[in-house]
Amino acid sequence: MSGTATTTSAWPKPRRAPIAIASTGGVWMALAYGFGGLRDFHGELHFDPRLPQPWDRLAFNLRFHDRQVTVDLTHERFAFTGDRERYDDLQNADLARVMAVNFTGVFLTMQEGIRVLRAQGLGGNIVINSSKNVFGPGKDFGAYSASKAAGHQLGKVSAIESRSGRM
């Protein structure tokens, strides 16, 4: 969570420091373009992964040609899967990959953000960007819509549970 720590370390103490979840976009770019080696050459995606040795894998979602896809990289291979599948055709492994990025990523970011805010003892805010698919899911977007809705609900529950800490 160095992205979160970097964001909060810019403000002098004891000023109330927000967690800028939007800064995670920069972290995503560093991971996808840097460690993942993501490049778009004339409308075709290419990957040249450069994962640090201690990492087993790197997985992330992106939109490409109006399609939500999950990229899963290891030192030896990469997998590229889309979640635009009919619900009855969706494979458990594909759902797990999308959930790992869209739900687990939100969970871990919020969990660390709350720890930082509590340690500072000053309260603060965490903002979660969701998706229109939470409220109006589209055809063939089952995994994406479910993962975004899960993150959205987690944010609501976290807000209820964190009220006592001035967050």
Q: Which of 20-24, 26-30, 151-155 has the highest mean pLDDT?
A: 151-155
Model confidence at 84, pLDDT cuts 50, 70, 90, reads low
Helix, strand, coil % in the chain, rounded to nearest 5: 50, 15, 35
CATH number for the domain that contains residue 75: 2.60.420.10
Domain count along the chain: 1
Residue 52 has pLDDT above 80, yes or no: yes
User: Tell me, what's the pLDDT at 77?
Assistant: 72
Tokens of 7: 């964001």
**Cα 56 to Cα 22, 35, 51, 74, 139, distances in angstroms:** 26, 12, 8, 6, 34
Helix residue ranges, H only, 10-137: 24-29, 92-99, 105-120
Give the 3-state secondary structure of residue 63: strand
| 13 DSSP β-pair partners | none
Q: Which domain holds residue 140?
A: 2-165
Residues near 157 by beta carbon (within 8 Å), at least 6 away in sequence: none
**CA–CA gap between residue 26 and residue 30 (Å, rounded):** 6
Task: Enter the pTM of the model.
Answer: 0.52
Distance of CA 75 to the CA centre of its chain: 21
Residues near 86 by beta carbon (within 8 Å), at least 6 away in sequence: 140, 142
Digit-coded pLDDT (tens) for 97-153: 788 878 888 888 888 888 888 888 887 888 777 777 788 877 777 777 888 899 899
